[in-house]
Amino acid sequence: MINNNDVIKIELVIQDHNTKEVLDTTLENIAKGSGIYDSKTRYEPLTVVFSSGELLKGVEENIKELEEGQEKEFTLTKDKAFGDRNPKLIQLIPQADFKKEKIDPKPGMHINLGNKQGKVLNVSGGRVQVDFNPEFAGRDLDYKVTLKKLCTTDKDKAEALFSKYFFFMPEGKARLNTNDSELEIVVPGALPKEIDYIKYLFIQSVFECCGFSNVKFSENYERQEKR
């Protein structure tokens, strides 16, 4: 059984209930077979903090009784998923607003503008038509969820969260040391200042999910032999 603040890894397939069209998945073979494959996407189990709002409440209600390795299929009607589509959320925005954000809008592109996520529908006459509705709004959804891993110990949670937030770091480059009260992340050299916000999000998640009272990053430098 999954409890609040447990860290879980799940495989996921989402389909339109009426058309059976695959809308999203963490499985590469399913993505390729359904025509939604994106070479820039990392197909791997999704790491989420249970009860944090990362998953719909309807999804959490359906999977909370799962044990590791178990799978469940269920349907969420649109009122329990992403609701109806709202025509007012389809907006025309001056193209100049995108230039300020250094975005070159193209139809079909997913963008983040003014802390709002949307999909570009059309670009014409110096204006950009953007749909800010949730991508799956207006649909009844079929879910297939497999619980691949249930992290319950502080060490397991910390390792899963580190992989979630620092996915860009090559595996094995960082080392996590733990004791009853402290989590230490040993990294090779200095981390760039640009990822300070990622560090902040990671640390906040650790404090919410784990019992550590202290989290610290340590830089490790190794002597390079001269050639």
Considering the domain 153-227 in this protein, what is its CATH number?
3.30.70.2210
Asked whether the predicted pLDDT for residue 227 surpasses 70, the reply is no
| pLDDT value at residue 156 | 95
Q: What is the band of 216 on the pLDDT scale with cuts at 50, 70, 90?
A: very high
**Those residues with Cβ within 8 angstroms of residue 66's Cβ, 6 or more apart along the chain or in another chain:** 1, 2, 72, 145, 147
Q: How many CB atoms lie within 10 A of CB 30?
A: 19
Class of domain 1-83+138-152: alpha beta
Q: Could you report the per-residue pLDDT of 86-126, keeping only the tens digit for each?
A: 999 999 999 999 988 888 999 999 998 878 899 999 999 89
Architecture of the CATH domain 87-131: Beta Barrel (2.40)
Q: Is the pLDDT of residue 220 over 90?
A: no
- How does the average pLDDT of the chain come out, rounded? 93
pLDDT in tens, 119-128: 999 999 899 9
pLDDT tens digits for range 187-197: 988 888 889 99
> Where along the chain do its domains lie?
1-83+138-152, 87-131, 153-227
> What is the model's pLDDT at position 187?
92
Average pLDDT of the residues in 61-71:
97
